[in-house]
Amino acid sequence: MAENRIETLGPEDFHGVQGIQSIDLQNNLISKVDNFTFRSIRRDLVYLDLSRNRIRSLQGCVRNLYLLTSLNLTGNMIESFEEDEFQGLDELLQLFLDGNPITSLGNEMQRLTQLQYLSIINNKIFTLKPEQFPKTLKFLYFEGNPFKCDCQLLPFLQYLNSSSVETDGPLCTPSNQTYIMPPAKCPDRCNCFCTHNKDKHFMSVDCSYAELTELPRLFNIEYSSTAKENCSWMAIHLPRDTKFSQSGPFAIEDEIKGVNFSHNKLQSLEEAHLPGGMRHFILDNNHLQKPPLSLLYSLENLSNVTLSGNPWSCDCDLLSFKEWILYKSEFVTDANETRCGSEFPELNGRVIWSLTDMDFCPVNTGSSKSLAIGLLSFFLVVAVAALVLIVHWTKVKMWLFAHGITCFHEYGIIQNKEAENLLQMNGLENQQRNRLWIDFLQIDASV
């Protein structure tokens, strides 16, 4: 039935037929296969070829084909399989899935307890896991997939090294590609490796116990701003122990999300520059006194931080650090051991998060006394001045009036000639001025 124009396979297409061991339906237009299409021949069928059709989903049509040894699904439109898609294929030896848009495999292959040959060439698979394949597998062909040679793929690469599974080519070879920004190399005196946290896989840089007094160049802000490498990505190599060993080691690249600087002699992190996606930041047991607050606040994805064993200077500037510890208490795994240093003896050894604001910034009693005395003196001077002004108020008014200052409403009623002459008194002789004072007093008294 190959190379026809069959579009669908219904539940009755093979009903009543006995003894069919081989069915070749390749190169048709099949887009739908009913769940019960092969049910009547499930104990007879050995070979089934559905390649080069338009099938998107098997819909359980191959389940429980107990004697099937070879299944060819090459060149269809399958993107994924249901978890129990291959249930009951207890005798299946060969499975061809080439040329489909499959993006990932689940655990459906684990049910194929006799599978020896699996071909997934030219799909869209980014990663594989060793637990996805049965232990009986002998041949695995995967060329033409866009594998990401990162930390998530590492367990599969280790599986290839430790198993006798034969593949169709080397995977993750050192690339000769010219990068715009190549990944960084592991810093001196540090170890770099892949790690995982739950379902997250990433690159870690372990610089602990390295006697460091300053940060590795890779994590220095001045270097990272001018570097010709991507300081957020790391490249490592895994020896290749397969028949393709001549292709060189497995090359693995991934984002740096873990850094361990513990048990060093770091005194400052003011010049630090770390990848924004950091999850693990280990800083315990150094010589740090001032926390790198701007750095800590910039790392929004942190899930594991250690800070203990540092002589933190518990002054007013550390208030924000205390607030950050409380805000991130779920992730600061040693918060109860993060203590003040000996700079302030009364706080030495105290747990930082437990301190009050007054502990960090006690009121200076000497300054308070000086401020109080200053304010008291000021108000005393003001009071004396007010008293003098009241006692000599008339004279003050005369003086102001004599100098042409008429801001008081009493002066508004002075309209006679004598008052007008007083506005020009600055140019009069002393004798004339004295006479005007007498006139002013008479006018003021009459008011």
> What are the pLDDT digits (tens) for 429-439?
455 555 554 55
**Token pair recorded at residue 164:** 């006798």
Would you state the pLDDT for residue 428?
46
pLDDT for 422: 44
Look at residue 395 in the predicted model and tell me its pLDDT.
Answer: 61
Residue listed under structure tokens 């750095």: 295
pLDDT digits (tens, 9 = 90+) for 62-93: 999 999 999 999 999 999 999 899 999 999 99
pLDDT tens readout for residues 393-441 = 666 666 555 555 555 544 444 444 444 444 454 444 455 555 554 554 4
> Angle, nearest 10°, between helix axes 393-402 and 430-446?
120
Candidates 236, 253, 353, 232; CA nearest to 301 is: 232
- Using the predicted structure, report yes or no on whether residue 218 has a pLDDT greater than 50: yes
| pLDDT at res. 362 | 84
Where residue 60 falls (left for φ over 0; alpha for ψ -120 to 50; beta otherwise) is left
Mean pLDDT of 325-337: 94
Whether residue 384 is predicted with pLDDT greater than 50 in this model: the reply is: yes
pLDDT > 70 fraction of the chain, expressed in percent and rounded: 83
Of 109-118, 259-268, 326-335, 421-430, the range with the lowest mean pLDDT is 421-430
Is 382 a residue whose pLDDT tops 90? no
- Which residue is listed with tokens 């000086």? 370
How far is 149 from 163, CA to CA, in rounded Å?
19
CA atoms of 164 and 40, how far apart (whole Å): 38
CA torsion sign for 199, 200, 204, 209 is negative
- pTM confidence score: 0.74
For residue 85, the tally of other CB atoms under 10 A from its CB is 20
Question: CA 285, CA 289: separation in Å to the nearest integer?
Answer: 11
Confidence band, pLDDT 50/70/90 cuts, at residue 25: very high
> Angle CA(39)–CA(44)–CA(46) in degrees, nearest 5?
105
